[in-house]
Structures are given as structure tokens and as C-alpha cells.
Amino acid sequence: MDRLNELTIVEARDALEKGTCTSVDLTKACLAEIESRNPALNAFLEVWEADALEAAARSDERRSRGESLGPLDGIPLAIKDNILIEGKHASSGSKILEPYIAISDATVIQKLKSQGAVFLGRTNMDEFAMGSSTEHSAYGPTKHPTDPDRVPGGSSGGSACAVAAHLAFAALGSDTGGSIRQPASFCGIVGLKPTYGRVSRSGLMAMASSFDQIGPLTKSVEDAAILFKAIHGADVMDQTTAREQTTFEPAWRDRLEGLRIGLPKQAWGEGIDPGVRERVMAAVEVFRSLGAQIIDVDLPYVDEVLAVYYVVMPCEVSANLSRFDGMRYGVRHQASNLMETYLETRREYIGDEPRRRILLGTYALSSGYYDAYYRKAKQVQTLIRNAYASAMTQVDFLLTPTAPSVAFKMGEKTSDPLAMYLEDLFTVGANVVGLPAVSIPCGEDGGLPVGLQLTGRAFEESSLLAVARAYEQSVSA
């Protein structure tokens, strides 16, 4: 069987069950593609070839004994560089953590190990997950999988590129304001941001703790469901995971009669590339042809969502990154006194974008400004949550573009932070209110992928992915 690395998880699982290939075959196919393409793409920061082949061989032995651990047993995956794997380097794309080796597994890694997944290596990302292009990595940018002059999106750009370029069958990323969905859109794959509290954050390097969620990047909706099912669930190591969780069992369907899909009026104004608008509106007609009712809905405070996010998120960044001071983790610049050691370590080993956000957050939390910025942002966040709750009583899902543009050129927005932040226009809402959202491909504009985003109700990933798959199946038929 040729080009094994281009299979989906579902296809690879079927091939393993039929005996037409082995996990070692799948892993070698990915490793060969990594060796061939990663030097140009820079999707992987580190590849664990020996460990991956050993894990694959163990999977094949289990399968030969009829003891397969499930649909991910023997499937090669890529892991974002901010998710801890015991005994492996984890730098979160930053020089300050270059020598850091994780002393324990993230909960999602424990779950995947228990199900026999094969880990190929750690993928590149914007430093501490702060960015929308993977140009802010301390280890160099990741390139778009089909156009090296363009970005793959971010901050999970390395994971998205690895999947789209068939270097891995699927990957884990993290999403704080769109960092799974936007690169999925740019690279033409599926990206799921679960409900906040649905997947444990234990072992994920925190950026903004009230927004962060781990989720899958995959080649198909069904693959996303398989990977999500493997990692979701309550966790005593993360008190923000929901104790009571609905069962995740997607009921795949071909038709969407009885479902209401809302188009937020405020999300279709200026700022969307004409080609993106055209492709997403064409997708709306596909949903209509499948029987869904398309409804225009009012979603107040859309303009305020981005502002709230870019106040609350830097405040949490300021608190979370205070631990990276050269004393407890990573490298240290030894200076004449303690304060200078702190300052010089951060100045030398933390990049411009994290420093910008630390400064913004520290300012917003400071005496005299806390009420004007942070407290006010949290009050408006409540209004936004109420607006989404009201909209979701009228419809079952919300549909928007995932990003206002296709993948932009390298360097195009790095000198203008505001332009980069506007890339999160459609994605941050789901993080601010904690709802699940998925990006799925809906065509191309000028040869570059376009993604549409579906947002569902809290803890209803089953129905969200079922609707996404119905669209996927319809356009691929």
C-alpha cells in the first residue's frame, strides 16, 4: 500500500485490522515524510524516531495477540510543544525553557499512552502559544504546507502543518483564542476546540487558564471524534474540568432536517475577504440543501468580544508567566543581584510577543487600572455570555468563517500586532464563553484553503461533530 502516511485515522485503523499494513509501516511512512519535508516546513522541533518505532512494534505485538487497545493503538500522532510528555523536552516555543525536560505526563498524554498511540515528536508553535502565525517561535517559523511564502496559522501551526502535510495522522494542539481552529482553516484540515472543562489542562503549559483547551487537529471530522473521545473527561488533577460530563457518542447523520443554524448578523460586516465570504456562503447553501433551517440571529457585543479577550488574556498571561524567571525552570542569566537576574533572564530568553502581553496584563492589573480594565472586561464578558445563551435558544448552532482571510504571507502582519490580533475575530467568542467550536474546510480561495466554523452548545460535541460530518460527507461525495 503506497503513501500510508496520507491515510486518515479511520483508514489506517481499518488497514491495521485487516493486516494490510503494520503500525511500524505507518510510523516509518510518517518518519520518511518528516525526514523529507520537515527541514523546509519546520513543523517538528524534535522527532523521537527510536521511541516511535518501539511503540509501534509494541502495538503490532498486541494486535498479533488480539489485544488491541482501541482505534488509536499504533496510530502515529504529533504533540504540540506545550503539552508535557515525561522525559521529553517541552519548551513551549521559548528559549527560556530550551533545556526543560518534563517530569510527568499531561493527563491527555496518559490517556493516549493507555490507548497505544505512537508519539512522533513535538511540534512548533508561537512562543507560549501567543500568536496567530507560528512566526513567533524562538526556533524559527513554520511554513504553510503548500505555499512556503505563507504562514500555517497559529499558535498550533506546527501541529496543523504536520497533519496537512501528512507528517502525522493527527495532532494535539491547544486553543486559547482560536489556536486550533485558525491554523486548521489555513491548512485545510479539521480543528476542534472543546467546551471549556471538557478536556483536562493538567500538563498543559498555561497561557490564559480560563480560556485554554486542548483539542485535536485531524484530516477528517470522524478522526477528530476518535481523538476527542480518547482525551476528554473529568480529571482530579484539573479542578476546572467538569465533574459531570455528557457521554460522547456521535450519531452520524446524512440529513439535517429539524436543525437550526444561525448566521450572526454582526459577524458578516466588513473585514472578511470576498473569497472567504463567497466560499462560506456557498457552504451555507449546502447546509440548507441538507435540510437545515438557516436563520439570521442577533448576537450583540461581537465587537466587544475581541476587546474583552485582549484584556483578560494578557492579565492571565502576566500571572502565569511570572513563574518563568530563571529560578524555577529553564535557563538563567546570572547577574550581580537577584532583581537583575530576573530582568536579564527575561530580557534575553523571552521573546517580544510574550513580553508585550505580560506588560499589557501587568498594566491592566495594576493599582488604579484594575477597575477600569480587568474588572470592566469581566463584566462585559458576562454580557457576552448572556448574548450567546440567548442566541442558542433560537438556534442549535452558529456558523461563521473561521478566519477573515486565507493564509497570509510571512512577515505581512508581524510588525502590526493589531492586524495579527484581528485574525482572532471569529474564534475568540467560543473561548470567552466556553463553548465548543469546530473548523472544517469549505473550499479554496486562490488555491488556499478556507474554513468555516460551527459553534455549538456546551458539552454537545456529539451533535456539533455530527453536523460537521454531514457537511463534509456531502461536499466530498
d(Cα 324, Cα 98) in Å, to the nearest integer?
12
Measured CA distances, 301 to 26, 211, 311, 386, 404 (Å):
47, 18, 15, 10, 18
Does residue 275 sit in helix, strand or coil? helix
81 domain-assigned: yes
Across 332-352, average pLDDT: 85
In this structure, what DSSP letter does residue 141 have? P
List beta partners, residue 409: 150
134 domain-assigned: yes
302 domain-assigned: no
361 domain-assigned: no
- Terminal-residue alpha carbon distance, the chain: 23
Across 321-337, average pLDDT: 84
Output phi, psi for 190, to 5 deg.
Answer: -100, 135
pLDDT (tens digit per residue) in 405-442: 999 999 998 878 777 877 888 999 999 999 999 999 99
Residue 178 sits in which domain range? 4-231
In which element (H, E) is residue 197 found? none
d(Cα 16, Cα 323) in Å, to the nearest integer?
45
- Residue 285, all three cell numbers: 447553501
Contact between 432 and 412 under an 8 Å Cβ cutoff? The reply is no
Closest to 193 measured CA to CA, from 448, 440, 467: 440
pLDDT of the residue at 333? 82
List beta partners, residue 296: 263
CATH number at residue 218: 3.90.1300.10
pLDDT (tens digit per residue) in 181-193: 999 999 999 999 9
Averaged pLDDT of the chain? 95
Contact between 309 and 352 under an 8 Å Cβ cutoff? The reply is no
What confidence tier does 328 reach under pLDDT thresholds 50, 70, 90? confident
pLDDT of the residue at 345? 85
- What residues are annotated to the active site? 80, 155, 179
State yes or no: pLDDT of 34 exceeds 70: yes
CB burial of residue 2 (10 Å; 0-12, 13-18, 19+): exposed
d(Cα 167, Cα 187) in Å, to the nearest integer?
13
The lowest-confidence range among 11-25, 309-323, 339-353 is 339-353
Contact between 164 and 187 under an 8 Å Cβ cutoff? The reply is yes
pLDDT of the residue at 331? 84
pLDDT (tens digit per residue) in 359-403: 999 999 998 899 999 999 999 999 999 999 999 999 999 999 999
pLDDT of the residue at 340? 84
d(Cα 29, Cα 20) in Å, to the nearest integer?
14
Closest to 439 measured CA to CA, from 148, 118, 136, 216: 216
Number of neighbouring beta carbons within 10 Å of residue 137: 27
pLDDT (tens digit per residue) in 217-265: 999 999 999 999 999 999 999 999 998 777 798 999 999 999 999 999 9
What confidence tier does 1 reach under pLDDT thresholds 50, 70, 90? low
- Residue 362, all three cell numbers: 501587568
pLDDT (tens digit per residue) in 68-84: 999 999 999 999 999 99
Q: How many structural domains compose the chain?
A: 1
- Residue 462, all three cell numbers: 456529539
Cell 491548512, located at residue:
187
- Residue 168, all three cell numbers: 502525522
281 against 346, higher pLDDT: 281
pLDDT (tens digit per residue) in 396-415: 999 999 999 999 999 998 87
Contact between 341 and 114 under an 8 Å Cβ cutoff? The reply is no
CB burial of residue 249 (10 Å; 0-12, 13-18, 19+): exposed
Cell 491515510, located at residue:
7
- Residue 9, all three cell numbers: 485515522
What confidence tier does 477 reach under pLDDT thresholds 50, 70, 90? confident
365 domain-assigned: no
What confidence tier does 335 reach under pLDDT thresholds 50, 70, 90? confident
374 domain-assigned: no
pLDDT (tens digit per residue) in 257-310: 999 999 999 888 778 999 999 999 999 999 999 999 999 999 999 889 999 999
pLDDT of the residue at 123? 98
291 domain-assigned: no
Number of neighbouring beta carbons within 10 Å of residue 409: 12
12 domain-assigned: yes
Does residue 76 sit in helix, strand or coil? strand
Does residue 295 sit in helix, strand or coil? strand
Output phi, psi for 438, to 5 deg.
Answer: -130, 140
pLDDT (tens digit per residue) in 137-171: 999 999 999 999 999 999 999 999 999 999 999 99
